[in-house]
């Protein structure tokens, strides 16, 4: 069975600093990987996804993630944090069967200090 | 505009009183599912449906029912809610392939007292 682990339930950075949110997955087949963001009192919104091809994936709002098969990782980064990035972030892997059921990590809450 | 609409957004109820949370989508997606979100546990799938009249259990189905009579609607039914079903619930829809993104509703915050 596939699984996802997000290291750190809470990450705090200063405005303008690098954002790094860690995600490791377990999968016996090539994975489809996603990062979603949840702003307060809202649903989840797709930031970016990796399916095949280029391992460095760019998403919305300046975020990007790199798929590293050797490390079974898909860490999310942003060079310079903005106050509006404060939210909860979820990494997910998609099952090949069951229509693509998403298996989520525990989530990481990002705080941005002025 | 592509939308997944859940109602109600907030609900407080008492133990044992049947309730239904509705979900409707306008994207003509075959696949719909329900998740619950709990602190430290991320989102866990309750039930899913791959098409009309086709539903199946997810990872945490106990205490829930669903139906899929029409493609656009996928209600979640709690016939006898209990306090351990207090949670934040999300409906999601997608095409039925593994490499496509899911679209989520705004969420329903349910409190069972």
A17 touches chain B (CB under 8 A): no
Q: Per the CB < 8 Å rule, is B48 touching A41?
A: no
Q: Would the pLDDT of B97 be above 90?
A: no
Name every residue in B having a CB less than 8 A away from some CB of A: 4, 30-31, 33, 35, 40-45, 48, 50, 56, 58, 90, 92, 94, 96-102, 104-107
Residues of B in contact with A45 (CB under 8 A): 104
Q: Per the CB < 8 Å rule, is B98 touching A99?
A: yes
Considering only residues 23 to 82 of chain A, which have any Cβ-Cβ distance to chain B shorter than 8 Å? 32, 34, 36, 41-46, 49, 51-52
DSSP B41: T
Reported as a pLDDT band with limits 50, 70 and 90, residue B111 is very high
For position B5, what pLDDT does the model report?
97
Residue A114 buriedness (CB in 10 A; 0-12 / 13-18 / 19+): exposed
Looking at per-residue confidence, does B71 or A53 come out higher? B71
Average pLDDT over residues B15-22: 98
For position A58, what pLDDT does the model report?
96
Residue A33's contacts (CB-CB under 8 Å, 6 or more residues apart) are A23, A25, A49, A50, A65, A67, A74, A91, A92, A93, A94
Model pLDDT for residues A7-49, shown as the tens digit of each residue: 999 999 999 999 999 999 998 788 899 999 999 989 999 999 9
**DSSP assignment of B59-85:** S--TT-EE--SSTTB--EEESS--GGG
Phi, psi dihedrals of residue A60, rounded to the nearest 5° = -80, 160
Interface size between A and B, measured as CB pairs under 8 A: 72
Whether omega before A109 lies within 30 degrees of 0, making that bond cis, reads no
Distance of residue A104 Cα from the nearest chain B Cα, in angstroms: 6
For position A62, what pLDDT does the model report?
96
Q: Would the pLDDT of B75 be above 80?
A: yes
The region of weakest confidence among A20-34, A73-87, B7-21 is A20-34
Residue B76's contacts (CB-CB under 8 Å, 6 or more residues apart) are B20, B21, B23, B34, B46, B47, B64, B65, B66, B89, B91
- Least CB–CB distance from B98: residue in A42, A44, A95: A95
Q: Would the pLDDT of A97 be above 80?
A: no
Strand order of the β-sheet with B19-25 is: B4-7, B19-25, B76-78, B65-66
């Amino acid at each position: 069975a596939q699984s996802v682990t997000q290291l750190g339930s809470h990450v705090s950075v200063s405005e303008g600093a690098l954002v790094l949110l860690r995600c490791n997955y377990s999968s016996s087949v090539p994975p489809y990987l996603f990062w979603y963001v949840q702003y307060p009192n809202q649903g989840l919104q797709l930031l970016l996804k990796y399916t095949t091809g280029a391992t460095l994936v760019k998403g919305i709002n300046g975020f990007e993630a790199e798929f590293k098969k050797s490390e079974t990782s898909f860490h999310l980064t942003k060079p310079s944090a903005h106050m509006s990035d404060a939210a909860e972030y979820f990494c997910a892997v998609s099952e090949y069967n069951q229509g693509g059921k998403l298996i989520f990590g525990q989530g990481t809450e990002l705080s941005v200090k002025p | 505009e592509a939308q997944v609409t859940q109602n109600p957004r907030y609900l407080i109820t008492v133990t044992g009183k049947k309730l239904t949370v509705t979900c409707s989508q306008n994207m003509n997606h075959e696949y719909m599912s329900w998740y619950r979100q709990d602190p430290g546990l991320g989102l866990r799938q309750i039930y899913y449906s791959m098409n009309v009249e086709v539903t199946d259990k997810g990872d945490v189905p106990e205490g829930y029912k669903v139906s899929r009579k029409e493609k656009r609607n996928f209600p979640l039914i709690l016939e006898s809610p209990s306090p351990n079903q207090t949670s934040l619930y999300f409906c999601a829809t997608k095409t039925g392939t593994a490499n496509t993104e899911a679209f989520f509703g705004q969420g329903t915050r349910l409190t069972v007292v």
